[in-house]
């Protein structure tokens, strides 16, 4: 990647925005100019990137002029307001919100799973839900090897998936509980300290939560299996960072646990930690700040002739958000795919 580009981060002071800056610096992404955008409450904030201080400003139409890539993590409503404007100005937007994921003409991408769809983008690229991102990284090689027949997933999602306020609430509520003090929930529906909450996002008419249906619908889209039988239960747990998942797959052709370990270990995005005799299996703490999706507890499903059970863990702020977005940006640069957005902007101007 010899070309250096102008990057804007929309939602720069949020938890994901801060992780985006960290990942850009760690991976030495070729940033020429950097624009940091956030709401009015952050307008006087200064952020350091590669030893240089940058002022955070409110987004305007002028903010996106000359920008090559926008990394958006500012919430669904803000994305819907500013993403079309950024695209009109010629930027490619990689959006971390739910605003565009299921739009038919918007690629929903985890590069290790379906990077090929990036060649058909129209200026907007969607980052999947954090729990879906780590799941499809594991499902893809299993599907290619033996064909997915059915998927059952239960998620154990950290509070960081709900933002900085949720992380603060867990800390404060834990301290209060340990000191026999009352602390009423403000971010979550119920107490999260020393508790589990089987309720992430709002409930839908079918009895599932919106979070659970994101896993279902986004997995089908990225795996390009529109009729994949898949079901999900999503649970919030008192963990700060990293999502864990218990995954059951029924396959069209049976794989032994040893075969599954070998297939998964061949993926550059996956690390297999699976030796229960040595207490070797991934936990949320193991994944914090790390790039791989970790898989362990690979075993036969005792209720199915072609089933496997797996335990999947990843840092949701990286795999499910910042790292995935930067990997998409790297792919766009490597394959010279930013020019498509410029063509869209030229057509709009005419």
- Closest residue by Cα to residue 248 from 269, 222, 230, 271: 230
Residues 216, 232: one domain?
Answer: yes
Under a CB-based contact definition with an 8 Å cutoff, are residues 100 and 314 in contact?
no
Q: Give the pLDDT confidence score for residue 151 in this predicted structure.
A: 98
Instruction: Give the neighbor-by-neighbor strand order of the sheet with 307-314.
Output: 230-236, 148-157, 243-251, 307-314, 293-300, 270-272
Residues 268, 302: one domain?
Answer: yes
- CATH label of the domain that carries residue 307: 3.30.360.10
- pLDDT reading at 342 higher than 60: no
332, part of any domain = yes
For this structure, is 243 an active site residue? yes
Residues 217, 253: one domain?
Answer: yes
- CATH label of the domain that carries residue 85: 3.40.50.720
104, part of any domain = no
259, part of any domain = yes
Beta strands 31-37 and 5-10: pairing type?
Answer: parallel
Choose between 1 and 238: higher pLDDT: 238
- When pLDDT is cut at 50, 70 and 90, the band that residue 115 belongs to is very high
- pLDDT reading at 298 higher than 70: yes
Q: Give the pLDDT confidence score for residue 3 in this predicted structure.
A: 83
Q: Give the pLDDT confidence score for residue 346 in this predicted structure.
A: 53
Residues 224, 251: one domain?
Answer: yes
Residues 178, 54: one domain?
Answer: no
- pLDDT reading at 43 higher than 90: no
145, part of any domain = yes
Under a CB-based contact definition with an 8 Å cutoff, are residues 167 and 15 in contact?
yes
Mean pLDDT of the chain: 94
Q: Give the pLDDT confidence score for residue 253 in this predicted structure.
A: 97
Mean pLDDT of 98-127: 97
- pLDDT reading at 217 higher than 70: yes
Percent of the chain with pLDDT over 70: 96
Residues 144, 273: one domain?
Answer: yes
In the chain, the number of structural domains is 2
Instruction: Show the tokens assigned to 236.
Output: 């919030």
Q: Is 45 exposed, middle or buried (0-12, 13-18, 19+ CB in 10 A)?
A: middle
123, part of any domain = no
- Closest residue by Cα to residue 69 from 346, 323, 330: 330
Residues 87, 177: one domain?
Answer: no
Q: Which of 30-44, 123-137, 149-163, 258-272 has the lowest mean pLDDT?
A: 30-44
- When pLDDT is cut at 50, 70 and 90, the band that residue 290 belongs to is very high
Residues 135, 240: one domain?
Answer: yes
- pLDDT reading at 103 higher than 60: yes
- pLDDT reading at 344 higher than 60: no
Active-site position among 121, 143, 232, 243: 243
Choose between 190 and 45: higher pLDDT: 190
- pLDDT reading at 72 higher than 70: yes
- What does pTM read for this prediction? 0.93
Mean pLDDT of 323-333: 97
- pLDDT reading at 341 higher than 70: no
333, part of any domain = yes
- When pLDDT is cut at 50, 70 and 90, the band that residue 343 belongs to is low
Residues 164, 257: one domain?
Answer: yes
Mean pLDDT of 35-42: 87
Under a CB-based contact definition with an 8 Å cutoff, are residues 288 and 315 in contact?
yes
For residue 271, what are the domain limits?
A: 131-316
For this structure, is 143 an active site residue? no
- pLDDT reading at 215 higher than 60: yes
Active-site position among 121, 130, 143, 232: 130
- pLDDT reading at 324 higher than 60: yes
- pLDDT reading at 345 higher than 70: no
Residues 325, 308: one domain?
Answer: no
Residues 178, 33: one domain?
Answer: no
95, part of any domain = yes
- When pLDDT is cut at 50, 70 and 90, the band that residue 334 belongs to is very high
Residues 160, 307: one domain?
Answer: yes
126, part of any domain = no
């Amino acid at each position: 990647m010899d070309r250096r580009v102008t990057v804007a981060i929309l939602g720069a002071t949020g938890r994901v925005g801060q992780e985006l800056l960290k990942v850009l610096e760690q991976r030495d992404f070729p940033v020429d100019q950097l624009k940091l955008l956030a709401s009015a409450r952050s307008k006087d904030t200064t952020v350091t990137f590669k030893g240089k201080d940058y002022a955070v400003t409110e987004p305007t139409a002028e903010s996106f002029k000359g920008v090559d890539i926008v990394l958006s993590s500012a919430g669904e409503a803000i994305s819907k307001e500013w993403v079309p404007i950024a695209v009109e100005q010629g930027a490619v937007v990689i959006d971390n919100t739910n605003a565009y994921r299921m739009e038919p003409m918007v690629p929903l991408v985890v590069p290790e799973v379906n990077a090929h769809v990036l060649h058909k983008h129209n200026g907007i690229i969607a980052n999947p839900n954090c729990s879906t991102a780590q799941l499809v990284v594991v499902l893809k090689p299993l599907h290619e090897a033996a064909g997915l027949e059915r998927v059952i997933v239960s998620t154990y999602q950290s509070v960081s998936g709900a933002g900085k306020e949720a992380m603060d609430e867990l800390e404060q509520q834990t301290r209060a509980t340990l000191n026999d003090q009352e602390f009423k929930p403000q971010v979550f529906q119920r107490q999260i300290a020393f508790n589990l909450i089987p309720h992430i996002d709002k409930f839908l008419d079918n009895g599932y939560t919106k979070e659970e249906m994101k896993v279902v619908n986004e997995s089908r889209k990225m795996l390009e299996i529109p009729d994949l039988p898949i079901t999900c239960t999503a649970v919030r747990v008192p963990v700060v960072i990293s999502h864990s998942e218990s995954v059951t797959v029924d396959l069209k052709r049976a794989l032994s646990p040893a075969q599954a370990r070998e297939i998964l270990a061949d993926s550059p995005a996956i690390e297999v930690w699976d030796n229960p005799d040595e207490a070797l299996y991934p936990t949320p703490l193991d994944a914090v700040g790390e790039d791989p999706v970790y898989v362990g507890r690979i075993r036969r499903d005792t209720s199915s002739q072609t089933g496997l059970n797996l335990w999947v863990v990843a840092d949701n702020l990286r795999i499910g958000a910042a790292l995935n977005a930067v990997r998409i940006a790297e792919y766009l640069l490597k394959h010279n795919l930013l020019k498509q957005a410029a063509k869209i902007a030229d057509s709009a101007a005419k």
